[in-house]
């Protein structure tokens, strides 16, 4: 079987021993195993050692009931902290910028922007309202690098609101594909849960998004959970960037980003 969807899970493995039962049949036993790649894979590709370690860690966490909990801080930008937040984000050369929208179709005239979410350090995010788009533009135009997962979607929406892509970009979805093209699910939610232990945060955000699915609006306080995606994307970028360089894939990644930027 393909282990792609089973990695890090604990499964029952049945095997036959050399012991004989009273009837002379070999005894079968069942053991708990953590699904991952064969250790020899790391001899051919160093990055596989990271995947194996991650899979085993997740399996042990599940077996012991111990999980890593984050103390993430997602804050709303309002008139009281706007100047301070803009100054802080403006002076940082690298940022993760994520948008929440009412539709996946940026060409739908009825669709609109719900929030723009930005992270410069792990476990933090700042959530901007659509009416603060000028401050968002000011911040992004002063960046060396803008990060996100499936960033083409966000760039199309930002362009609709007058923010042109004048900065270098880093797409964590493309990075994951280059590092592990056989990964069956490269969605941000899946990667955040399996690689960053962010299941609690992702579930909380899904709960908040049910408001939109039901045709109701979450409170402004609940909108803080929009910051989960920018936080997750930034953390993935911090993980993938050194791995790309170690595997000799950094040059290819830069080329991919130039092409993606041109096609957006």
Residues 30 and 147 in one domain: no
- Tell me the CA distances in angstroms from 154 to 123, 131, 139, 185, 260, one per residue in order: 21, 17, 15, 20, 12
Residue at 1 is within a domain? no
Structural domain of 138:
73-263
Averaged pLDDT, 242-263: 96
Q: Is the pLDDT of residue 214 over 70?
A: no
What's the domain count of the chain? 2
pLDDT at 68: 36
Which has more confidence, 211 or 2?
211
CATH number for 121:
3.30.420.10
CB 228 within 8 A of CB 255: no
Residues 33 and 78 in one domain: no
Residues 79 and 128 in one domain: yes
Averaged pLDDT, 157-169: 96
Residues 97 and 208 in one domain: yes
The interaxial angle of helices 188-196 and 227-246, nearest 10 deg, is 70
Residues 94 and 33 in one domain: no
Averaged pLDDT, 123-144: 96
Whether the pTM exceeds 0.95: the reply is no
Strand pairing class (113-119; 168-171): unpaired
Averaged pLDDT, 133-144: 96
Which has more confidence, 72 or 139?
139
Which has more confidence, 26 or 132?
132
Averaged pLDDT, 42-57: 69
pLDDT at 66: 38
Residue at 231 is within a domain? yes
| Mean of per-residue pLDDT scores for the chain | 86
Q: Is the pLDDT of residue 162 over 80?
A: yes
Residues 17 and 106 in one domain: no
| 104-113 tens-digit pLDDT | 999 999 999 9
Question: Which of 176, 169, 181, 150 lies closest to 240 in space, CA to CA?
Answer: 176
pLDDT at 61: 55
Which has more confidence, 62 or 146?
146
Residues 41 and 85 in one domain: no
Q: Which of 26, 46, 64 is the last residue in one of the domains?
A: 64
Residue at 158 is within a domain? yes
Confidence of residue 215 (pLDDT cuts 50, 70, 90): low
Q: Is the pLDDT of residue 58 over 90?
A: no
Q: Which of 42, 64, 86 is the last residue in one of the domains?
A: 64
Residues 156 and 58 in one domain: no
pLDDT at 4: 59
pLDDT at 94: 97
Which has more confidence, 72 or 67?
72
Residue at 131 is within a domain? yes
Residue at 3 is within a domain? no
Distance (Å, whole) CA 206 – CA 261: 29
Helices vs. strands in the chain: H and E counts, helices first = 10, 8
Residues 90 and 151 in one domain: yes
Exposure of 216 in the CB half-sphere (CA atoms within 13 A): 9
pLDDT at 67: 39
């Amino acid at each position: 079987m393909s282990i792609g969807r089973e990695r890090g899970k604990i499964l029952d493995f049945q095997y036959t021993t050399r012991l004989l039962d009273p009837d002379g049949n070999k005894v079968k036993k069942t053991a708990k195993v953590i699904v991952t790649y064969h250790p020899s894979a790391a001899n051919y590709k160093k990055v596989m050692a990271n995947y194996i370690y991650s899979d085993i860690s997740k399996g042990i966490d599940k077996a012991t009931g111990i999980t890593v909990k984050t103390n993430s801080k997602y804050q709303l930008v309002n008139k009281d902290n706007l100047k301070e937040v803009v100054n802080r984000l403006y002076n940082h050369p690298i940022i993760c910028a994520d948008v929440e929208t009412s539709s996946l179709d940026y060409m739908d005239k009825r669709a609109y922007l719900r929030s723009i979410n930005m992270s410069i350090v792990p476990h933090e995010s700042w959530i901007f309202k659509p009416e603060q788009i000028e401050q968002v533009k000011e911040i992004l135009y002063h960046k060396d690098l803008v990060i996100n997962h499936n960033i083409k979607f966000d760039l199309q929406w930002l362009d609709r609101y007058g923010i042109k892509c004048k900065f270098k970009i880093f797409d964590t979805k493309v990075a994951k594909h280059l590092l592990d093209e056989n990964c069956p699910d490269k969605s941000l939610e899946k990667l955040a849960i399996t690689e960053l232990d962010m299941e609690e945060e992702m579930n909380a955000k899904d709960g908040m998004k049910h408001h939109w699915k039901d045709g109701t609006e979450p409170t402004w306080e609940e909108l803080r959970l929009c910051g989960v995606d920018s936080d997750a994307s930034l953390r993935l970028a911090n993980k993938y960037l050194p791995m790309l360089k170690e595997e000799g894939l950094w040059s290819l990644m830069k080329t991919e980003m130039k092409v993606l930027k041109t096609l957006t």
